[in-house]
């Protein structure tokens, strides 16, 4: 549902920009952006977003470790993983860590919106 607050986590500013544009066009509010897992956990605590879109391969702390840390803070946190690695084992690892969906890069805007809408309902 549009109007929901979303935190975008990706080490590439240009990728964050792409996701931000897709979400903003569809009425979502981007409350923050983080470039690594550590910053993502900090911003999650500070901003309490409705949803986090999280890359996996990042410096400092990777996305799966960040999902685990966020879910320790909030067991109900909604997180979508967004990664170039679509290996089944990594998808399962992400879901087990607490992610609710998995988007493979490069993505289509429709796929991002479909996943976000499904979770933010």
Judged by CB under 8 A, does residue 84 bind another protein? yes
Of 41-49, 66-74, 78-86, 109-117, the window that binds another protein (rule: CB under 8 A) is 78-86
Q: Is 98 left (phi over 0), alpha (psi -120 to 50) or beta?
A: left
Judged by CB under 8 A, does residue 87 bind another protein? yes
Tell me, residue by residue from 27 to 66, as one string, x for binding to another protein by CB under 8 A and - for no binding.
Answer: ------------------------------xxx-------
- For 79, half-sphere exposure in the C-beta direction (CA atoms, 13 angstrom radius) is 33
Q: How far is the CB of 86 from another protein (least distance, A)?
A: 5
- Describe the chain by its helix, strand, coil percentages, rounded to 5: 45, 20, 35
């Amino acid at each position: 549902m549009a109007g929901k607050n979303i935190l975008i986590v990706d080490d590439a500013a240009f990728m964050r920009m792409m996701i931000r544009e897709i979400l903003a066009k569809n009425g979502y509010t981007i409350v923050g952006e983080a470039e690594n897992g550590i910053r993502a956990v900090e911003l999650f605590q500070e901003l309490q977003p409705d949803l986090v879109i999280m890359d996996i391969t990042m410096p400092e702390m990777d996305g799966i470790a960040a999902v685990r840390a966020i879910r320790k803070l909030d067991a109900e946190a909604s997180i979508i993983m967004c990664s170039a690695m679509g290996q089944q084992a990594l998808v399962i690892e992400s879901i087990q860590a607490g992610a609710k969906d998995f988007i493979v890069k490069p993505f289509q805007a429709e796929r991002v919106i479909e996943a976000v809408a499904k979770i933010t309902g």
